[in-house]
Amino acid sequence: MNRNNLTLFCLGFFFSHVIMADQSDYQNQMSLKLKEGHAAFVFDIPEDVYRTVAYPYLSDVRIVNTTGDFVPMRIVLNSDEIKLQYTQTSLPTFKLNKTTSLPINTKQVRTTRSGNYEDYTVETSKSMRHFIQNQENIDNSKIYIDASVLKDQKIEKFSLDWHFENQGNRLFYVKLSGSNDLSNWQTVKARQKLLEIKSGNKIILENAIDLNHKKYLYYQLVFENNIRPEIKSIHAHFITHKTKGQNHWNVSENIEFLDDNAIIFDSKGYFPIESFKIDFNQKNILTSVSIYSRNSHKSKWHYAGSGNIYSILIDGQVNDKNLINIRRSTNRYWKVVFDDHINNTSVKSVKFSWRNHQIEFLAQGEGPFSIYYGNKSQKHLAPNNWFSQLPRNMYFSDDVVINKSNTVVNQVVDHPETIEESDKAKLTFWLILGFVILLLAFMAYKLVGESKEE
């Protein structure tokens, strides 16, 4: 064996053990069953992966074939992610007059002395005309909305900007109808609740009317029970981009109550959380809520979102709003802070919604394939430059069956906040092993050199 072959053998032995060690560091796996006949696949990342991955950005997730090779893959936002980009515009409103249907001018025929017929016009007198015109009156119970300027747009909802002469809490109802000819009207919303509640410096306003995917050129707004504010403007909201899907909802467990009107809890995973629902044990609650998050017990709290929530009894009806939307975050630990009017022990439950990511991968090599995750040493996402080299019309099949009974590759350990002792020992071991192999290679190199000199 010459010096070059011996050196390559030693280095190859070293790096092969490094690759094997990299795979053995994965704590969990799930097997995948793929439909034959496709080269590329896509599937939603299961919930258990979010619970047991090592890092919040899923850098330790890999797809492995039957021989243990990593295949090309990338993690993308779920195609079911809700993206709503609203555009709004103010629409013109008008009212229809009730007019007495009495002709102002009439055409009549009379016979002349010679026996001929001639037409003549009878004109109503000025005093009669003035009387008839005064009988016209405005129908104040109805407001008409001209949406014909948006006939090519799909309007999702209307929002009303109103004003009441007298201050106070308001709960009233309207009926919304649609028409394309101002004569034949179809019901869009039979009874829509509108709400305005003021408590101190807080104002709760529910002024939107969904159109239930119905489209007309004109709309008619009718107020119930003679409760009608002054309508200052009506805005139409239409969506320029929308991809809609369903969120998952998890109940927060082990809620800890703090003394400063706050609660904290662990989401038990790195879920991409988008919103919260907070329920109370009592009614007639109105409070402001601020939400914070962090990734470890030692990290600082970061602001995630805020809003008003309430559960109020008005006219014998309970009106609730307990949803708070936030900017998506994969932080694990959460803190909810209430204003001074709320005792945190009155909190009944906290739920959070989250949306899956997806994995796109090429089925290279032989199956079956598996998803590996839970590797503390894998801090970088899988390379995804392969994706740009694919044809634009590349089809990713979603015909993937996941065996969600988690298989433990090695003993599962808690998510580390710093490098554990086992990591340090493992790193030391590989440094020593590498040094020994390089030393052996150098000694072999010297021995071959000396044998040639002899």
Rg of the chain in Å (alpha carbons): 36
Bridge partner residues of 235 (DSSP): 90, 159
Residue 364, C-beta contacts closer than 8 angstroms, at least 6 positions apart: 65, 69, 71, 72
Residue ranges in the chain whose pLDDT is less than 50: 1-21, 80-82, 100-101, 241-244, 411-422
Alpha-carbon distance values, 442 to 3, 5, 10, 349, 448 (Å): 9, 13, 10, 66, 10
- Enclosing H/E stretch for 430: helix 421-453
Neighbours of 439 (CB within 10 A): 11
Q: What is the DSSP string of 10-48?
A: HHHHHHHHHHHHHHHT--EEEEEEE-TT-SEEEEEPPHH
- CB of 170 closer than 8 Å to CB of 163: no
State residue 257's pLDDT score.
Answer: 86
pLDDT at 23: 60
Q: How far apart are CA 173 and CA 222, in angstroms?
A: 9
What does the pLDDT read at residue 332?
A: 93
Locate 52 and state its tokens: 């047991």
- Which residues, other chains included, contact 133 with Cβ-Cβ below 8 Å and sequence gap of 6+? none
In angstroms, the first-to-last Cα distance of the chain is: 17
Give ∠ CA 154-158-164 in degrees, rounded to 5.
170
Q: In this predicted structure, what is the pLDDT of residue 451?
A: 61
pTM given for the model: 0.57
pLDDT in tens, 304-348: 999 888 888 777 777 778 899 998 899 999 999 988 666 666 788
The CA-based dihedral angle spanning residues 54, 57, 61, 62, taken in that order and rounded to the nearest 10 degrees: -140
Res 302: pLDDT: 94
Between the alpha carbon of residue 196 and those of residues 63, 170, 173, the distances in Å are 53, 5, 12
- The C-alpha atoms of residue 404 and residue 45 are separated, in whole angstroms, by 11
Instruction: Give me the pLDDT at residue 450, please.
Output: 63
Q: Residue 188 burial (CB < 10 Å; 0-12/13-18/19+)?
A: buried
Integer Cα distance of 225 and 193 in angstroms: 13
Structure confidence at residue 400 (pLDDT):
93
Q: Which domains occur in the chain, in start order?
A: 3-77+360-451 (no CATH), 89-96+139-243 (2.60.120.260), 248-354 (2.60.120.260)
- What tens digit of pLDDT does each residue of 196-228 get? 888 777 788 889 999 887 889 999 999 888 778
